[in-house]
Structure 1
């Protein structure tokens, strides 16, 4: 299953949190022309580095399949960012 929603929490300098909800499907539809260019660039990169395009596609698919439920946290004194994929 592909991720449905990405939640980004960002701690401001005054200590309050800003929460952003990003739906994946509408963003994917808006950026689909760029996705086509990214796929073409990926095919060129596979050709240059002699990597199987099907193997690379399988790896990207497995990465996307594993994303739901993932949490990424970065906390560096003044900056704190939490990304949660559902």
Structure 2
């Protein structure tokens, strides 16, 4: 599982996960969470999802009423680095 470097909600979820490990049981098939970087993206990175082939990272920006929440994508350039490609259109 990948952990975004930005986003207060993601940090809160990780804090809860660290404090209450029984609420989030470890699953060996997911491996150990690790931080990643998304070059060219400076906003909030929420709810990350990796495509089945591991080449694409999908995520949304901040889920707040004042924010226009949109789906974004980035392509993998290395094990812990992605290149931002833009909003998912359509």
Is the TM value for this pair above 0.5? Answer: no
- TM-score, normalised with respect to structure 2: 0.24
Q: Which protein has the bigger helix share?
A: 1
> Could you say which structure has the larger radius of gyration?
1
- TM-score, normalised with respect to structure 1: 0.25
The structure, 1 or 2, with the larger RCO (C-alpha pairs under 8 Å, 6+ apart) is 1
